[in-house]
Amino acid sequence: MEYWLPLIFVSLMGLALLLYIILDGYDLGIGILLPLASDDDKDKMIEAIGPFWDANETWIVLGIGILLIAFPSAHGLILTHLYIPVTLMLFGLILRGVAFDFRVKVAAEYKSLWNTLFFVGSLLASMAQGWMLGSYVMGLETGPTSVAFSIAIALSLPAFYVVLGCGWLFIKSSGELYNKAAQWARVAILPMGIGLFLISIATPIASSEIAGKWFTLPAAIGLMPIPLMTAVAFFTALWILSRQQILDAGYGWIVFVCMVVMCLMMALGLAYSIFPDIVIGKMNIWESAASTASLKFALIGTVLAVPMILMYTIFIYKIFYGKSQPLSYE
Amino acid sequence: MELDPFVLSRIQFAANISFHILFPSISIGLCWLLVYFRLRYTFSDRDDRMDWEYAYFFWVKVFALTFALGVVSGITMSFQFGTNWPGFMERAGNIAGPLLGYEVLTAFFLEASFLGIMLYGKNLVSNRTHLISSFLVAIGTTLSAFWIISLNSWMHTPAGFTIENGVFMVDDWWAIVFNPSFKYRFIHVVLASLLTASFFVAGISAWRARSNVDGPATWKVIRTGVVLAAILAPIQIFVGDMHGLVALENQPAKIAAVEGIWETEKGAPLTLFGFPDEEARTTHMAVKIPKLASIILTHHADGELQGLNEFEDAHPPVAPLFWSFRIMVGVGFLMLAVAWWGAFALLKDRVGPWLLRALSAMTFAGWVATLAGWYVTEIGRQPWVVQGYIRASEVVADHAGGMVLSTLIGYLALYAFLLVFYIFALMTLASKPARSLRANIDFAGAKPTAPAVGAA
């Protein structure tokens, strides 16, 4: 148990954070795109995420919650080192979260202010998350390499979210907005791809520990599917976006699927790079694990609750399935 | 001036938690009121039905806004444990971690997920599914309170653990979750939320009634709020008293500060008013009633109460507690008086403009009492973070003072901005009839008014 429990919890934490990146990723991406849309489309874009964003955001609370429950000393170490980006992310998430309501509930003359704050919050949260991710991959170092790396991810992650958001708009919208999403995605996908490519190259250069894990035989061969699948997903998305007739036929959702596959592959790659550490080069998962009694108690609740959460999440996505409707409280 | 990161982190946490509690203190109670409105809608005949429908339409918007503010400020809290108080989780994480985890797993996802159906799904699902969704959101908000109050109570009255190398280890989960002060605190907090929500809906509705918005629907809400408050206010005073007795047993220094008792004495007088002076260790110009403190707290005229001087450098700051407590109790009794006045007037069908003005003036009375109450509780635990075991100063993160100051200023500015817009949005919403807030209403029930229960 002492060996397995930290493994189970680190997997759950990875799953929660992966779901967060995908689910809140599309919300944040749509928020970043908001200023580019007409007033009418702005409302439609919010409609596409309105019923989901709150539950989507809860996955990061669960992810960080598991870090806290299962690895309390790593929790303190990581969050104190990431003090500034975490604070900026929180400011962003606060502004974005309340803008959903304020933009339609204050007097009409303030709606554009709250649309702008929606955008600012989404962008700020996305960039701060990129900074956090970069700094975390670099083992929370503060040297110039680490800072440069963090800046690179802080710039790439919003682009990734934007394409993900466009993918979601393909699923939830039609007509003019659908075509707008295609235009936006075409612009965003190349810098996103280049950014991800550079980051993948830079990671082993910047971190000798990660390089050691990837460039040894036979591991290197076994790991090939990860970059290959990522590349296949990327070029499939690129190809779909460049074929207007395929998009017109309603196949835009494939772009979203490709983005999810890329997320999954990158998460696997990242997990492999870090495991079994929880903070690279500083602390492994067993050193930082909470007591077995606490993990057992938490596991009972997790085993009971997570399947239920997944079930009712699916139930809710089914209720709001299909192209989004005007949001009304009726 | 030297910037002390400990003091700044404390102010920041206090600012965050004070801002946060404003919204759950409304939304927990308001959500149950919304479930009630839906039930009344489901089981009423046609005329009343539309009124309850309008009541729901108006208040669900206020709820959505309030809930969103609670969510975002709550997420901030969960991160601040790590960014500012890492020592707390390193030492008490074995206990605090799972309790917070259960809150996320059983409450956060439940409320966040079904909120989507509650707010936007009414046309997509049956009335029954919608009613159940609203009910699940209410259950979620209350479960959330259950877990967080359990952890908070444990920090006041820790139980069910052993300590190994300075780290808290779990001994008995039941004893931890249901620690000695838990049930009193939980009931006190839930009642506080219901009372806050009652005055909130009655106050805003009174304002709407004076400008004649939404006619009978508005009056139904006023009646609901006033009657609920009239029933709950005396119960709350009773529960608060029991809660105080538990605090006396477990945290005598807190009670000594609340009562302004410096020396241990038998037959201690009750200090109604005065100016506690920690340097001189006395209360200036105290207005006292002989023996009453002993009678209230020990139920004996000559019962002994411990004074602050027994707890050298381990008792909370006196003046903030002394004053917060009096504000809480004062506002609590004022709420009781206004609620009973309102209930009596409604009973006699003699509601005048003065009652409506009084209710409007009391719209945020619950906020004042709730904040003052939490200050009594939380400042009353100082200097400890876990009563008797961990001092707050031991667990603070070692940040540069300037950095904490900059984030503190950021939070304060953001919270002030949001609070202004919150009030502003409430005023905008309140001035509009529920009908205009609905996109396309079929007035007078052209909507399919299916037979009440389980209309699929």
**Averaged pLDDT, A154-170:** 93
Distances (CA, A) of A38 to A35, A56, A166, A276: 8, 26, 16, 48
High-pLDDT (> 90) share of chain B, %: 47
Neighbours of B333 (CB within 10 A): 13
By residue range, what is the domain housing residue B425?
5-264+306-444
Read off the tokens for A211: 């390089």
What value of ipTM does the predicted structure carry?
A: 0.87
Q: What angle do CA B417, B418, B422 make, to 5 degrees?
A: 125
Is the residue at B296 inside a domain?
Answer: no
> Chain B contacts of A58, Cβ < 8 Å?
104, 108-109, 112
Cβ–Cβ gap B407/A87 under 8 Å: yes
User: What secondary structure does DSSP assign to A39-91, as a single string?
Assistant: HHHHHHHHHHHTTTHHHHHHHHHHHHHHHHHH-HHHHHHHHHHTHHHHHHHHH
Chain B: give the shortest CA distance to residue A188, in Å.
29
Q: What is the mean pLDDT of chain B?
A: 87
Which among A86, A90, A93 is positioned nearest to A132, based on CA atoms?
A86
What's the number of domains chain B is made of?
Answer: 1
CB contact under 8 A, A62 and B410: no
Asked if residue B273 is part of any domain, the answer here is: no
Q: Is pLDDT larger for residue B266 or for residue B331?
A: B331
Q: Is residue B158, in this structure, part of any structural domain at all?
A: yes
What is the pLDDT at residue A329? 65
Contacts of B86 in chain A (CB under 8 A): 75-77, 79-80
Question: Is A142 a residue whose pLDDT tops 70?
Answer: yes
Facing residue for B72 by CB, picked from A82, A97, A309: A97
Backbone angles phi, psi at A54, to 5 degrees: -65, -50
Helices marked H in B5-85: 5-43, 46-84
Q: B244: closest CA among B286, B318, B181?
A: B181
Q: Is residue B271 part of a domain?
A: no
CB contacts, 8 Å: B410 with chain A: 87, 91
For domain A7-290, is the CATH number 1.20.1630? yes
B122 falls within a domain: yes
CB pair distance less than 8 Å for B425 and A306: no
Distance from CA of B314 to the nearest CA of A (A): 27
> What pLDDT is attached to residue A330?
55
CB A233 within 8 A of CB A256: no
In a domain, B409, yes or no: yes
How many helices (DSSP H) and strands (DSSP E) are in chain A? Answer: 15, 2
Contact check, Cβ <8 Å, A330/B123:
yes
- Say what the pTM is: 0.89
In this complex, do B79 and A90 lie within 8 Å of one another by their Cβ atoms? yes
Mutation to test the B interface, candidates A90, A308, A315, A316, most B Cβ within 10 Å? A90
Domain ranges of chain A: 7-290
pLDDT tens readout for residues B277-291: 888 888 888 888 888
End-to-end CA distance of chain A: 50
- Residue % of chain B over a pLDDT of 70: 95
Residues 6+ apart with CB under 8 A from B409: none
Which pLDDT score is estimated for B331?
A: 95
- Tell me the sheet residues that pair with B168: B163
Is the pLDDT at B441 greater than 80? The verdict is no
